Amino acid sequence: MVILTLNCGSSSAKYQVYDWDNKDVLAAGVVEKVTFPGSFINHEAKGKAKYTLEKDCPTHTDAVDLIIKILTSKEYGVISDMGVIKAVGHRVLHGGDKFTKSVIVDDAAMAAFNEVKDLGPLHNPANIMGIEAAKKVLPGVPHCAVMDTAWHQTMPPKAFLYAVPYDWYENYSVRRYGFHGTSFLYTAKRAAVLLGKDPFKTNLIICHLGNGSSVDAVKDGCSFDTSMGITPLEGLVMGTRSGDADMAMPFYVMRKTGMNPEEMENALNKKSGLLGITGQYNDRRDIQAAVLKGDKRAELAQDMEAHRVKKYIGAYNAVLGRVDALVFTAGVGEFAFFMRKKILDGLEDTGIVYDPEKNELSHTRNAETCISKAESKIPIYIIPTDEELVMTEDAFALMKGSYDVHTNFTYSFQSRDYINKGRAAGLKGDLEKLPELAGIIALPK
């Protein structure tokens, strides 16, 4: 049985093909620059060479068509025809407060996604177009929606409400929703395995650091508070998003410059954050290269990003009272040891003590590692996220009728014996290049 997962962004369409019977990824890739000239697909299939093809995709339907064509091609494909695909899982950024778990997409679900798309203007329209496109190409299989916001529906009102007129919440659904929920679900469950604890007796601080970043306070295995808000703009300093700021600041700048609301929204979402501070970079690798060349604004951007993450770690440490582990995940969290160093320096009095050598060694997506010192009261794990696996398992369970909210559902990766075959194969290559990596691999207690 084969399950396809799709993650359609405003100008991209990521995909993965999963062989459920053998528990293995057959292929994965992404179509870039969808709706723009010069779109192309990067495709990787098990046992085959990487493949890139330039092909204009003016719509997401064209992108999905291209994905299907590549997946079924004799030379680069991994399936004989689309009939072997039995379910499709879709990532949806914003489900508002209407969904506490993944759902099969029906007319009511699509209506709900459209109702809240103003809350996710950069992502929800693309998510919706991706679902519509996939349903046209694959009309005879269940399509399942996995919402980033669903994980956070366990937050209490004291955490998710804003101190604004209460009728804004009642009439316009103004509240904190939080995002990156699929990533937080996966890493929270895996952290509990590594700790050897009941997931619902586990408190965690999880830092999902990528181009978009957020921190989650997990109490007794459920989301208790998170840094992103009604939209993904709030919280940390991100690639192009400002994160936390005085809410009066935009009005001040609009009066000074004559900017309209749309221009301000665009500036805060697409021209701020690390890009706004450096003036030219939002990729952490480019920023680090500039820092090494003496670029002071690049160094300032790094310091600001680390400072903000450190503030949230401290705040959530206080909110939770007991922290069983600190977790880093996503592209920056998994690979940027220089950013982890800036974040972790000075946290010793909070019980978080990292090992600089272990920190520099941890640079892989193929293993879970521990970078804390033995005397650290709070272990520090780096857990490569796997949102696609969560989407795949949700889609399979929904298709079979066995799915439920995560507090009543057990994932395969919650087993002590769970192995990701693709990552296990990749780890062999990593260890050949860097044998010392073996010394920091985290194993279940």
pLDDT tens digits, one per residue of 297-307 = 999 999 999 99
Is a pLDDT exceeding 90 seen at residue 355? yes
What would the mean pLDDT of 413-431 be, rounded to a whole number? 94
**Can you name the CATH fold of 196-383+420-440?**
Nucleotidyltransferase; domain 5 (3.30.420)
- In this predicted model, which residue has the larger pLDDT, 13 or 187? 187
Is 80 exceeded by the pLDDT of residue 386? yes
% of the chain surpassing 70 pLDDT: 100
CA quadruple 372, 377, 382, 383: dihedral, nearest 10: 150
In whole angstroms, give the CA distance from residue 239 to residue 253.
Answer: 21
- The pLDDT score that the predictor gives to residue 256 is 98
Give the separation between CA 11 and CA 424, rounded to whole angstroms: 32
Specify the pLDDT at position 97: 86
Quote the CA–CA distance of 389 and 395 in Å, as a whole number.
10
DSSP assignment letter at 100: S
- Residue with tokens 């999905």, as numbered in its chain: 64
Same fold, 2-147+390-412 and 196-383+420-440: yes
Q: What is the mean pLDDT of the chain?
A: 94
Q: Is the pLDDT of residue 12 over 90?
A: no
**Residue 427, helix vs strand vs coil:** helix
Q: Quote the distance between the C-alpha of residue 229 and its chain's center.
A: 15
Which H or E run contains 88? strand 85-92
Q: Output the pLDDT for position 9.
A: 77
Grade residue 328 by pLDDT with cuts at 50, 70 and 90.
very high
- Please report where in the chains the tokens 């994965």 appear, as a residue: 28
Q: Lowest mean pLDDT of 125-139, 266-280, 335-349, 376-390, name the range.
A: 125-139
What digits encode the pLDDT tens for the residues 32-63? 988 888 999 999 998 898 999 999 999 888 89
Cβ neighbours around 62 below 10 Å, total: 18
Q: What value does the mean pLDDT take over residues 391-416?
A: 96
**Catalytic residues, which ones?**
148
Domain formed by 2-147+390-412, architecture: 2-Layer Sandwich (3.30)
Domain assignments of the chain as residue spans, ordered by start:
2-147+390-412, 196-383+420-440
Phi-psi region of 47 (alpha: psi -120 to 50; beta: other; left: phi over 0): left
Residues 6+ apart with CB under 8 A from 89: 3, 4, 5, 6, 102, 144, 146, 391, 392, 394, 395
What is the model's pLDDT at position 82? 81
